[in-house]
Structure 1
Amino acid sequence: MTNNVSAQSVDTSTLVELLRYRAIHQPEQHAYTFLRQGESGDAHLTYGELDRQAMAIAALLQSRDAVGKPALLLHPPGLEYIAAFFGCLYAGTIAVPAYPPRSARTMPRIQAIVADTQAKMVLSTAEALSDLQRCFAHLPEMESLEWVTTNTIPAHLADEWRKPELDRDSLAFLQYTSGSTALPKGVMITHGNLLHNLWLMKQHCEQTSESHMVSWLPPYHDMGLIGGILFPLYEGFPSTLMSPLAFLQQPFRWLQAISNSGATISVAPNFAYDLCNRKITAEQRATLDLSRWTLIANGAEPIRDETMKRFVETFAACGSVLRPIL
């Protein structure tokens, strides 16, 4: 389906209004595709489907007295995470995205976030629930947390959703630092903060409603969430996503997804371009068509000019006409 509704015609003060606009005017437009194992794209969401899922999740959160309160999101990367994030926004609940803990070793970060936010509710998927609860089992301070599996919420609850009273100054989510060198620190992000950031990205990235994003970045903070998920929504073009692990296991999957989808924009930290330079073979490069990929962004860690020059030179034979943004 051709998307003729550009972001220029969308005047909104919150992300809830933005998604509602897309759902009303472009209900059948593909919004997000998630590549399972980084390759097969059998999971899709349209704007209309995302809107209904967000309303159902929001209605449940509103019925649990979660309006204006923080909720920890511990979803693995995927479409369920996107629906849960917007479900929080639709409810007026403060989303607190975080990496799902993989073992007891990674629990101190989660404990610090729960202590800092005083969150009483954790959102995740039914498939991830048992592993998460195992990680939380020996932590007495976590026993009172309420668990909600967002992908099992009945769809008909969407009819019970009540639009929250939000404006540009309303808090959308809390973004926490990694906690690798100190306790994680939270930053309060409002709807106005996000919309201004997205407007600035629009000015610099020069994408249109005919563009396409590919991202493997973790969807829990700025580059993955704002760049890979929210910016495509703002501009009204689709985004193809995969998990960070899928990329790390086989870097070729990232460029293969760009080739297969005809993506025009993708972002990553410097190490990702270095991995592609070193790991993708000449035989694999011969299968790629990167002729629509015109904008490449590098950030989140020190940027090495030689890495980017080598990347552009190495993949020029794939039809690439990349314009780097560093």
Structure 2
Amino acid sequence: MVLNISYPASKMLTFVDILTQRAQQQPEQTAYTFLHFGEQANSELSYGDLDRQVRSIAGRLQQSGCEGKPILLLYPSGLEYITAFLACLYAGAIAVPMYPPSSERQIPRLQTIIHDTQAVTALTTTWTYTKIAQKFTHIPELQALQWIPTNTIYPSQYDDWIKPALDEQSLALLQYTSGSTSTPKGVMVSHSNLQHNSAMLQTQMGMSEHDRGTSWLPIFHDMGLILGVLQPLYTGYPTVLMSPTAFLQRPLRWLQTLSDYQTTVTYAPNFAYDLCLRRISAAERARLDLSHWQVAVNGAEPIRRTTLDNFSATFADCGFHANTFMPGYGLAEATLMVSARKRHTGISVKQLDKAWLEQGYVKTANAQTRPVNYAVSCGQGPRDQQVRIVNPTTQVQCQPDEIGEIWLSGPSVAHGYFHNQAATEHTFHAYLADTEEGPFLRTGDLGFLHDDELFITGRLKDLIIIAGRNHYPHDIEQTIEQSSPLIRAGCSNAFSIEVGEQECLVVVAEVRAIQTKYTSDEREQMIAQLSETIRRNIAEQHEIKAYQIELVQVGEIPKTSSGKLQRRACRTLFLAEKLKKWDE
């Protein structure tokens, strides 16, 4: 059933309005199905049941005086996460989506977010709370929280829910920047941001109530939450969910679900399509029917032309069509989506002269005569959103053939970083130096526009994106330096390089001179053990495999005159094999 949701909207319609209307008009229609793959029976929620559960939890939150306050959500993947998130919106509270900690290394990030939000309440399940309480009794921040197990709250238990008074400035959630960083920043996403981005997604992707969705993306990340959970609710189509672990353990589960439920819309980073290519056999492909699949969103990390081509060719016999792919670009600071290709239009790829590209210019070339890089179009954005390509140094708009930083303005741009005015000013309040046009959001990503379509060429920031996850170099560098006293403090670099169409991690670290009392064989053994220790620590603390560990002489790591690391310069030296190894 189509609700009266117009775009552009003359009146702000929140997700509180949308769910209450769907519960009234379509109470028996299934909204979400969660697959457990034999661990327990699959679970479902209709719009009516969802609204009743959400109202009851929201009533409990309002009774506790949580309106306008940040509420931590600490759930594993499941329908409980969805009801808790929507309950925060119903209560006029600010949802803070997170994942329950399972190891000590996840605690510092959680502590930082608790301090940043000043949250005093956490929603979870009884089972999850028991595990946290038993394992982390020594963490005062967790002990001080008021824990509310929402599985103990039943419909009609709190039937005095009052619809909150929300306006365009009312915050819906704090989306903390992803990746293993010691200083995460909470992106302030308002109810109007969510409404605009959802309307934009529906229009850009041609979604309707006749679609059927499937998602394995983590709900506590922006793509999984907004595309996987909120967009189906906004548009009115049913969706089937599973945990990220279920997909990663067996990628066939994702495509089998698309086949079984005749899914039309799904979403994933580039690595997921690669994983399906590597892990699904010909015999398993023979049992798949992907002919109903109409939208395969590819985003959240660099999009590889070879992945799109190979997936289309490999799964063509299953009914998959190349025009199903929908490359897109987005970030949490813009709520989610910035741009995407239109439905059924397929992909558009530019062959860029590699030499010109390295100099920051766009020039097409013939791959048979010149080395080229392939840039995949991420489509266009809506009319009421402005995209500028800007020289990040001069802050002047680039010429059409120049690559620059992507700047944005529009109703989907979030309100800044929670309790971080300095970072908000730098990132959200940028102005063009020559025209003083602004404010713009600085994305930190590099790209260019061609025929109003956005192409991403790289990252201005040092963010490392591998297998759909963001890794911050300074966190990895800290792990390296803590691995041994032999590593000089402040003298290690982490960056990514491309190896066979995959982003791989390389670390370079300066090693102190080893005392001459050791023999040559003993020194080599010490270095070998050090390399293994670094590799193991990175794997354990960041869940990432180091492709190469380069241990170099003192003074080899390039720095600015003020002592700051120059990661790009180090990467260039590494690729040129100009770094002096520890034993040279």
Pick the TM interval, shorter chain.
over 0.9
> C-alpha separation between the residues in 2 aligned to 1:41 and 1:325?
33
The aligned counterpart of 2:35 is: 35
> C-alpha separation between the residues in 1 aligned to 2:41 and 2:204?
29
Task: Output aligned runs, 1:153-302, within 5 Å.
Answer: 153-302=153-302
1:195 Cα shift? 0.7
1:37 Cα shift? 3.2
Displacement over 3 Å in runs of 4+? 6-12, 37-41
Structure 1 residues 177 and 192, CA gap change in structure 2 (3 angstroms): same
> C-alpha separation between the residues in 2 aligned to 1:102 and 1:142?
13
Answer whether contact 2:80 2:151 (CA < 8 A) is retained. Answer: yes
> C-alpha separation between the residues in 2 aligned to 1:232 and 1:155?
23
Relative to its length, the structure with more helix (as a share) is: 1
The aligned counterpart of 2:123 is: 123
Structure 1 residues 41 and 195, CA gap change in structure 2 (3 angstroms): farther
Answer whether contact 1:270 1:303 (CA < 8 A) is retained. Answer: yes
Task: Output aligned runs, 1:3-18, within 5 Å.
Answer: 4-5=1-2, 8=5, 13-18=13-18
The aligned counterpart of 1:65 is: 65
The aligned counterpart of 2:326 is: 325
Q: Deviations over 1:42-94 (max 9, x none)?
A: 20001111100000000001111111111100011100000000111111111
The aligned counterpart of 1:303 is: 303
> C-alpha separation between the residues in 1 aligned to 2:278 and 2:195?
37
> C-alpha separation between the residues in 1 aligned to 2:227 and 2:41?
20
Answer whether contact 2:109 2:182 (CA < 8 A) is retained. Answer: no
> C-alpha separation between the residues in 1 aligned to 2:290 and 2:19?
30
> C-alpha separation between the residues in 2 aligned to 1:33 and 1:40?
13
Answer whether contact 2:12 2:192 (CA < 8 A) is retained. Answer: no
Q: Deviations over 1:273-298 (max 9, x none)?
A: 00000100111111111111011111
> C-alpha separation between the residues in 2 aligned to 1:38 and 1:297?
28
SS, match of residue 320 in structure 1: coil
The aligned counterpart of 2:104 is: 104
> C-alpha separation between the residues in 2 aligned to 1:132 and 1:165?
34
> C-alpha separation between the residues in 2 aligned to 1:72 and 1:181?
18
Q: Deviations over 1:228-265 (max 9, x none)?
A: 00011111000100000000000000001111111101
Answer whether contact 1:38 1:247 (CA < 8 A) is retained. Answer: no
**Match status 1:90 vs 2:90:** yes
> C-alpha separation between the residues in 1 aligned to 2:313 and 2:38?
25
Structure 1 residues 41 and 295, CA gap change in structure 2 (3 angstroms): farther
Answer whether contact 2:74 2:123 (CA < 8 A) is retained. Answer: yes
Consecutive unaligned residues of structure 1, counting only runs of 5 or more, are none
Range with greater deviation from structure 2 (126-135 or 65-74): 126-135
The aligned counterpart of 1:74 is: 74
> C-alpha separation between the residues in 1 aligned to 2:96 and 2:288?
38
Structure 2 counterpart of 1:92, which letter?
G
The aligned counterpart of 2:371 is: none
Answer whether contact 2:168 2:191 (CA < 8 A) is retained. Answer: yes
1:207 Cα shift? 1.7
The aligned counterpart of 2:51 is: 51
Structure 1 residues 94 and 30, CA gap change in structure 2 (3 angstroms): same
> C-alpha separation between the residues in 2 aligned to 1:36 and 1:92?
31
1:5 Cα shift? 2.5
Structure 1 residues 60 and 19, CA gap change in structure 2 (3 angstroms): same
Structure 1 residues 279 and 86, CA gap change in structure 2 (3 angstroms): same
Answer whether contact 2:5 2:13 (CA < 8 A) is retained. Answer: no
> C-alpha separation between the residues in 2 aligned to 1:93 and 1:31?
23
Structure 1 residues 6 and 62, CA gap change in structure 2 (3 angstroms): closer
Structure 2 counterpart of 1:271, which letter?
F
> C-alpha separation between the residues in 2 aligned to 1:29 and 1:269?
30
1:182 Cα shift? 4.3
Answer whether contact 1:38 1:242 (CA < 8 A) is retained. Answer: no
Answer whether contact 2:114 2:141 (CA < 8 A) is retained. Answer: no
Structure 2 counterpart of 1:324, which letter?
F
> C-alpha separation between the residues in 2 aligned to 1:212 and 1:12?
26
Structure 2 counterpart of 1:5, which letter?
V
Answer whether contact 2:73 2:95 (CA < 8 A) is retained. Answer: yes
1:168 Cα shift? 3.0
> C-alpha separation between the residues in 2 aligned to 1:302 and 1:135?
37
Percent identity, aligned pairs only, is 52
> C-alpha separation between the residues in 1 aligned to 2:3 and 2:205?
14
Answer whether contact 1:97 1:175 (CA < 8 A) is retained. Answer: yes
SS, match of residue 301 in structure 1: coil
Consecutive unaligned residues of structure 2, counting only runs of 5 or more, are 328-584
Answer whether contact 2:94 2:172 (CA < 8 A) is retained. Answer: yes
Answer whether contact 1:7 1:209 (CA < 8 A) is retained. Answer: no
RMSD, matched Cα: 1.7
Q: Deviations over 1:17-56 (max 9, x none)?
A: 1111111111111100000138986200011111000000
> C-alpha separation between the residues in 1 aligned to 2:39 and 2:242?
8
**Larger CA Rg, structure 1 vs 2:** 2
Range with greater deviation from structure 2 (260-269 or 35-44): 35-44
Structure 2 counterpart of 1:217, which letter?
L
Q: Which has the higher contact order (CA 8 A, sep 6+)?
A: 1
Structure 1 residues 153 and 91, CA gap change in structure 2 (3 angstroms): same
SS, match of residue 296 in structure 1: strand
1:181 Cα shift? 4.0
SS, match of residue 156 in structure 1: coil
Answer whether contact 1:274 1:311 (CA < 8 A) is retained. Answer: yes
Answer whether contact 1:33 1:41 (CA < 8 A) is retained. Answer: no
Answer whether contact 1:13 1:167 (CA < 8 A) is retained. Answer: no
1:203 Cα shift? 1.3
